[in-house]
Amino acid sequence: MNTRIIMTISALILGISGLTLSFLPDLFLNNLGVDSSPITLLLGQIIGGLYFAFAMLNWMSKESLIGGIYNRPITLANLSHFLIVGLAILKVLLKNPDLPILIWATGIIYLVFGILFTRIFFQHPVKSSDVDFITV
């Protein structure tokens, strides 16, 4: 599995979300139908900071060997984040299927990354130089 692509895409998604929530929380929250009270704006900015930090972690480690015992804390952090949030969104969507399409798309993205990071966690990594000799 090419972890470089997965880490890059997750970094971009988290980075864009983090910057949007950090600098335009009212726009983001209004699109979800959430009132722009001072506390929700603050929580949006806090979450944006966390997303941006996660994006930087993934971006900076995308060239590293990831999987199995290699970079296990990074893999476990991503696995925990994406799987927990993905399952939480899924639970809400099953009870409220009429939520906006943005919530559905976010849930799907989170569950896909949760599954990918689960595979990475339990799979031994393949170095990019070894890929040339592997036949499919």
Report the alpha-carbon angle 129-131-132, nearest 5. 80
Question: At residue 64, does pLDDT exceed 80?
Answer: yes
Q: Is the pTM of this model over 0.85?
A: no
Provide the β-strand partners of residue 67.
Answer: 70
* Average predicted confidence (pLDDT) for the chain: 88
Interatomic CA distance for residues 55 and 49, integer angstroms: 10
What lies within 8 Å, CB to CB, of 111 at 6+ separation is: 82, 83, 86, 87, 89, 90
| The total number of residues written for the chain in this structure | 136
Per-residue model confidence as pLDDT tens digits over 87-134: 999 999 999 999 888 889 999 999 999 999 999 998 887 665 555 545
Quote the crossing angle between the two packed helices 72-95 and 101-122, to the nearest 10°. 150
